[in-house]
Amino acid sequence: MRAEWLVVTGCFCLSVALLEAWCLTAVRNLHVAALKRLFPDSQQLLRSHIDYLMMTGLLFVSYLMFRQFGIVPPGALVAAACAGSIMNPGAFLAMAIAPRLGKTPPALFGGIVSVSFVLTTTGYLGSAWLIARAALAAG
């Protein structure tokens, strides 16, 4: 998987975050009944929104740092960062729609969340080490 997928995934995450911002406005300020029913836990929707924004920044910065230092990251590292960046905030989104998931998560949901944590950590920690090593070599 090429590094450009970091940008594509970042654009997706930004799009979802912007859509969630509109949903938050509709739920919290405009009190749109249909969206209040869809997102009964608006706090989790806010967490998803913020997390998607953070992932957007991390994806874009990682891509730019790879370009800056001429690093060709391993495809598995790119895939892990991309998948984790979608899945982590997606868990908050799922809990905004179905709050019971956060209280007594079914084994499947808990497993998916655990996998998303591992993917995100692997993708960004691996990226950070590659970038740090390149920065030290360049200095």
Model confidence pTM above 0.85: yes
User: Domain containing 133: what range?
Assistant: 4-138
Q: What angle do CA 124, 126, 128 make, to 5 degrees?
A: 65
Q: Specify the CATH number for the domain of residue 49.
A: 1.20.120
Contact 127, 75 (CB under 8 A): no
Mean pLDDT for the stretch of residues 28-43:
97
pLDDT, residue 103, reads: 83
Phi, psi of 98, deg, nearest 5: -130, 85
Q: Write b or e for each residue in 100-137: b if 16 or more Cβ atoms lie within 10 A of its Cβ, otherwise e.
A: ebbeebeeebeebbeebeebbebbbebbeebbeebeee
Structure confidence by residue, pLDDT tens digits, 81-125: 999 999 999 999 999 999 999 887 778 999 999 999 999 999 999
Residue 8, pLDDT above cutoff 90: yes
Domain total for the chain?
A: 1
